[in-house]
Chains A and B, each alone.
Chain A
Amino acid sequence: MAIGTELQGGTVTQSGTGIARGVVGGSPDTGNGAILEGNAFFKNPAVAGFEDVAYEEKERFFEAVRSDMRFPDYLYGCYECGICVAVCPSARFYDFSPRRIAQAAARKDVALFYQQMQEDIWECSQCFSCVRCPRGNNPGGIITIMREVAINEGMASAKEALEGYSRIVYKIMSTGTQVSPDMLQPDAFPDWGPEVRDVSEHLALWRRALPPETLHTTATSWDVSERTLIELYLIWMETGALDMIRNVDESLHMILEEVMEERLEEEGIER
């Protein structure tokens, strides 16, 4: 039995994590939307909202994370002390725990790991408060890798997380700056107060009132030179970053690819 688990009346639960780990002697379908798989206990896929896959697939996803060059620097074991959870902002407002992430990775619990890739990883704030870990773990870093694999595999959680985010991806990859002054629209940020409306109404004038010459732009954060942008496009294409988009948003990928190839062609750059 794994550390931190206890047997209670025929049911194995994992202390403190809030995840039931299995029903000893129970049927595969527990009748409450839950399914038993080995020693794991999951939501029925119809309830969970993501597709269940064969164990071998889950193993493959786990291996994709584990074989990343960064992984050995991010995981050294787990004391189960919970310091990472105590300092984690996402743990306060979501059913999310960096400790569960580190534990699933350390135990090679590929089934739980898959569930986390479909349910948990997009809740992480990526603040890296969890690197306070006394073992030197970096749960936030493990999640960064898990997210990359989720994108590369076109997982449902990745597609869902990036719904509504495609314009940001378009902005950063096509213009070289992540956010722009003209994003400050009252209908996009009604919760940021009336100042957003003021900025939006006076945007062009107020940008021209900024003394640094590079900041007179409205569609980008600053004036990025043409040559710089072309170099950025080459980076996205040469490193496979552009191709990653195809797995989660095919139309966005098509638009970005066209923008970049057209610009490179204009410059006479062959790939």
Chain B
Amino acid sequence: MTTRSATPVSVILQKKQHFERDPERLPVDFHDRLYELEAAGELVVQRPPDPTDVVTVPTKYGRPKVIPRGHLWHHKSCGQCGHIPGYSTSIFWVMRKLGYEYHDPRDQTSCTAWNYYASATSNPAAQAAVALRNFAAAYESGYYPLIHCATSYGHYKEVRGELLRHPELRQQVRQVMDKLGKPMVLPEEIVHYSEWFYAMRDEIAARQVRDFSGIGVTVHPACHYYKLVEGDAIYDPDVYQGQRTAVVTGLAESLGAEVREYSTWYDCCGFGFRHILVQRDFTRSFATMRKIEVMKEEANPDVVLTHDTGCVTTLDKSQFAAQAHDRKVGVAVMSEAQFAALAMGAHPYKVCQLHWHSADYRPLLEKMGIDWRQAWAEFEDEVKRLERGDVQYLTWDDVDAS
């Protein structure tokens, strides 16, 4: 059968070689409504703490997005801090090494969206009030929110859209915020930590002490980062020719790693929110058969890099049981924050906390030139100090002393 096309394929392929945005397809910029409501006194817009100390990056439809370098309020992730703490620690460590001050708040709750997407035991007013309470806490501290979790990031963008569109929701949330004695605040941009890493990739690469040129990487992009309210996500004509989000990949390339292609790049990881906790047969099957096995077969990476709590958890933890079914698994999984920290010389256990991970990361460390046996012995020495009561906690000074 012959196919008939008005446009020859050569023309289509030529177009794909350089990315051009169609101005007719630009969605409405949410900032217009945001500033209108600010002018009407309905809400406060928090702007970057120092407008001269920012990096401006391109987003999916070409709108520039401003990423503050420093003075950031770390909106932590419950899954990262709880189950893969080296993820959060690496974010902090890289920021410290680059010399940017930050605030790690106790006046922060989870966004609660993991539960919301899993159980639906909440409603738009509650979700918006949780978001605005956290944003108000950041605003009151003077620091600018940096969101660690892709689901928090995606959900907060949803909440922002609902608040901007629906006056009745604003009214309902305002009543709650009044009771809390807090202002209605939205940041000018909702910024994900992986956007900060992307924006700072040259500074990070400049501090690189380990050679990653032989490291094969596959990237799994987080659905809630770039599918959920897509217009905020970073797309760069120089990365995937602007056809896919540039975060993670842009950083890995800056660090000299070899980013390899695989055919199920767009697929979800299989996290499923409630599935990862109470229906893991689905999660495990999807993660193994649609992601890890495809990556192994088509790209044979040394490591899978991703940028969300759920994705690291799913892709890392799903591999163990799959071995019992002779599935072709066995590849290290980590966040690009941990990868960047390792590139900058971070300790694999004291900083990156890889002993909380399940898939075998040791071959990767060896390829990076890291003696993991010695590193583990160093970590155990520190743990013994804790056990003996020499110190109550390890500090950043302890980590940097090694």
Listed in ascending order, the chain A residues whose CB lies under 8 Å from chain B are: 69-70, 73, 87, 89-90, 92-94, 122, 125-129, 131-132, 144, 147-148, 150-151, 158, 161-162, 164-165, 168-169, 172-173, 176-181, 183-184, 189, 191-193, 195-196, 198-199, 202, 205-216, 220-225, 227-229, 231-232, 234-236, 238-241, 244-245, 248
Contact = CB atoms under 8 A, between A and B. Distances in A.
B358 A192 contact: yes
Nearest to A248: B121
9 contacts: A125-B271, A127-B224, A161-B119, A172-B114, A173-B115, A173-B121, A177-B110, A212-B104, A241-B125
Contacts, number: 260
A152 B222 CA distance: 30
Given A89-B290, A191-B321, A209-B379, A94 B282 contact: yes
A235 B130 contact: yes
B124 A128 contact: no
Q: Is the interface of B mostly helix, strand, loop or mixed?
A: helix
Given A93-B286, A94-B282, A178-B112, A239 B162 contact: no
Given A125-B271, A214-B106, A179 B399 contact: no
Contacts of B108: 222, 224, 228
B contact residues, range: 35 or more
Contact of A132 (B126, B154, B227, B392): B227
A179 B82 contact: yes
B107 A227 contact: yes
Contacts of B395: 211
Given A93-B286, A127-B227, A215-B81, A208 B386 contact: yes
B96 to A, nearest CB: 9
B383 A205 contact: yes
A228 to B, nearest CB: 5
A70 B394 CA distance: 47
A212 B130 CA distance: 24
Most buried by A among B112, B122, B182, B355: B122
B175 interface: yes
B120 A147 contact: yes
Contacts of A173: 115, 121
B143 interface: no
A251 to B, nearest CB: 14
A216 B117 CA distance: 28
Contact of B176 (A206, A224, A238): A238
